[in-house]
Amino acid sequence: MAQAPAQAPAPAGTPAAARPIRWTRPATWPRDLLALAAYWCASRLLMLGMVRSGRAEQAVEVYRLYHSWYRVLRTGTFPVDDVTWQYPPGAALPMLAPGVLPFLTYLQGFVLLMLLVDAAVQAALVRVPYGRPGGSRHGAWLWALALPLLLGLPYGRYDLAATGLAVGALLLLPARPRAAGVLAGVGALVKVWPVLTLLGTPRGRTTRQAWTAAAVSALALLLVLAALFDHTFDFLHAQRGRGVEIESLGGSLLQVARLFGWSGRVELHYGSMEFLGPHVHRVSQLSLLLTVAAFGWLLLWRVRARRWTAATPYDAALTAVLLFTLTSRVISPQYLVWLIGLAAVCLTVEGTTQRPVALLLLPMTGITTLDFPLFFDAMQAGGWQPTAVILARNGLLLAAALWSAARLWRATAAPLPAAAPAPARHRPDRAPGTDADSNGDPVRVV
């Protein structure tokens, strides 16, 4: 058998995008990829500078709260009678992780690990367009641009770790559904919501493999943690006691009510600033009912969906997390990290329905930074300025959630419009019993 001729080297004038890319040699990267890498490095240095001194709020929370949990967890027990511990047992993993870096302080180790997660997500989003047809680098740019809008906050919360697991699960889903299920299952034990990344898996074998792997991995990790730690399920008591946080959708309504004389007050309650007073319990119950309604809509979508594309699992994950974020009794600023990560995954596929929703996240993230930390103290006291800020943020969140759900439904579950019949063309040379092919030439009908 004759040997295939060796491929000739690319001529000097070949465009950079057409040349083979070697990830270990930045000289082979396209110019836009080099620009993305330069921006990522510059923006992340600024983010690190915001937390390096240790005086920023996010640094204080890591050093005081996370570090206190770390000291308790090292003794083999979850925090006991601590209402601020409201996280699933898997949250112990990112809390304990800085301990593997004994040459750094707890704050330094935590921030470094979050930076590495950020870099891993960025690298995964960059590589997607080169590994599958129809890929796009828009997702990589969204992640790089949007995350710094939250200032140093992403490096001062462990939500970045949960987001990394969710992004990894979604990107692995098309080719390795079992591995995707494992990441989603671990993510569910870290912060619950990453399990929603499996909502849009195509019916059949992919769904069975992904959901089975998620259930097995979550159960295995739960059994290990229950064997290693005492009081594994104490977090459920604190979750039941949560009220209406001042930045939630219900909280923004109570902010408006306060302007018109409502007698409620704001206090530190279950680890966050919550409203206390008349009718707050009803607002909390309404939020729970809306969460149930959102879950019901997602189940209905899953049953009614008939059309799947490469983008459908990504789009469904973003829609689901938007709906659950919107209806939550707590909408903390770090929740935007989740939405940025899922929107970035959506934009890695050209056929996504969520492009305008992803772009809407940019102003939403900017306004969230106005809310926290700039207006947060004023919001506790009340007034028209902080109320306007939180109404604008939650208004954009409401618009994004409803728009996302509507676009997902139209693309996958809504009936297709009936196609108009094509007008018959008169061809006198066609013989009886024949039809025409795509070029107009007669073919025999069998």
Predicted confidence at residue 55, as pLDDT, reads 59
The residue among 328, 340, 330 whose CA lies nearest residue 364 is: 340
The b-or-e profile of 256-272 (16+ CB within 10 A means b, else e) is ebbeeebebebeebbbb
Predicted confidence at residue 158, as pLDDT, reads 94
Query: One digit per residue, pLDDT tens: the chain, 446 residues?
Result: 444 444 444 443 333 344 567 666 776 777 888 899 999 999 999 999 988 865 567 778 898 899 999 999 999 999 988 888 889 999 999 999 999 999 999 999 999 999 999 999 999 999 887 767 777 899 999 999 999 999 999 999 999 999 999 999 999 999 999 999 999 999 999 999 999 999 999 999 999 999 999 999 999 999 999 999 998 887 777 666 678 999 999 999 999 999 999 999 999 887 789 999 999 999 999 999 999 999 999 999 999 999 999 999 999 999 999 999 999 999 999 999 999 999 999 999 999 999 999 999 999 999 999 998 888 889 998 899 999 999 999 999 999 999 999 999 999 998 877 655 555 554 444 444 444 444 444 433 33
Measure the N-to-C terminal CA separation of the chain; round to a whole number of Å.
Answer: 42
Contacts of residue 232, Cβ cutoff 8 Å, sequence gap at least 6: 78, 89, 222, 225, 226
Identify whether the C-beta of residue 172 lies closer than 8 Å to the C-beta of residue 178. no
Predicted confidence at residue 410, as pLDDT, reads 96
C-beta atoms surrounding 276 within 10 Å: 13
What backbone phi and psi angles, to 5 degrees, belong to 414? Answer: -70, 145
Q: How far apart are CA 187 and CA 91, in angstroms?
A: 9
Predicted confidence at residue 16, as pLDDT, reads 37
> pTM (2 decimals)?
0.88
The b-or-e profile of 422-440 (16+ CB within 10 A means b, else e) is eeeeeeeeeeeeeeeeeee
The residue among 18, 38, 15, 14 whose CA lies nearest residue 26 is: 38
